[in-house]
Amino acid sequence: MSYIEKKKISGKEYFYLSKNVRVSKNKWKKIRKYIGSDLANLAEAEKEIELIQPIKRLLTLKQIKIIELLKTNYLKKHKIGKILWKTEKEQIISFIYNTNAIEGVLVSYEDTKDIIEGKKPKTKYAKRDIKEVKNMKKCINFLFDYKGEFNKELLLKLHEIEMKEVHPEAGKIRTKQNVVGNYLPPKPEEVPGELEGFFTLFKHAEKILHPFELAGLVHLKIVRIHPFMDGNGRLSRLLMNHILFKNKYPLLNIYNSEKMLYYMVLKEVDVKKKEKPFAKYLYQVYINQYKKYLLQNKN
């Protein structure tokens, strides 16, 4: 239950709404929401603080140090931004190919590369498949240029770009129930509230978690809420990399050849209601992907 706290700073009184949340069996943490110099915004603050969930670290200190070493060595050779289309083009093309292939897009790696480079693919594909490749390139360029906040507007805009001329509800929150394998996402009427809770959680988590932990959390929450009828998996992987790029970390690519393991880890999260296994999985994928930037430190 939340309660009001008053602080006096330089002779002026300021109000905060506070709440104690359990972070483990015998450990509690206080979270605080600033109200202002009066109680006019109390109702809004109460609504927001009730949506805040306890934030738990997802990686060990050693794992975080290794990621920081990876980042340091990577940035000695690369700059994060559109320049990666020149210096790391194959990696970005690989991401587009793999993130689409995981969702059943049949365009080969070679043809994905040709389409991105404006060439005609060697194999004939459905117009939708070709459009999905082109849209992913647009999504990545949009994120490279995006300087705004991480919010619902970004979510809707990115989905609109991703699904334009692919799905009739591009950029629109779903109004029907969807099913993903054995997983049943929230009911459509629950989605707006789930998203509101997610963005409130994000603002809180951003102050506590390491950017890599935050990126994994964003991926996991979006794919579990499944706010759209189609394109949720790719959207979650795009947003994960947006958090990484924004904080100057290299791209994380989940390979189609390993999608069964990817799905198994997501299922484990559903069964155990714990996020750490997914963070651990992403960490291992990342380390394997950029192993050479860690090995060079040993020479």
| Topology adopted by domain 61-298 | Fic-like fold (1.10.3290)
Tokens of 117: 């480079």
Span 16-68, pLDDT tens digits: 788 776 555 566 667 677 788 888 878 877 777 766 667 889 999 999 999 99
Please give the mean pLDDT across all residues of the chain. Answer: 91
What is the rounded radius of gyration, in angstroms, for the C-alpha atoms of the chain? Answer: 21
Mean pLDDT, residues 210-238 taken together: 97
DSSP string, 237-263: HHHHHHHHHHTT-------GGGHHHHH
Alpha-helical regions (H) of the chain: 42-51, 61-75, 84-87, 89-102, 109-116, 127-145, 152-163, 191-205, 211-225, 232-246, 259-272, 276-289, 291-295
Where exactly are the structural domains of the chain? 3-44, 61-298
pLDDT at 27 (0 to 100): 61
Report which of 269, 174, 280 is spatially closest to residue 227, judged by C-alpha positions.
174
pLDDT at 299 over 60: no
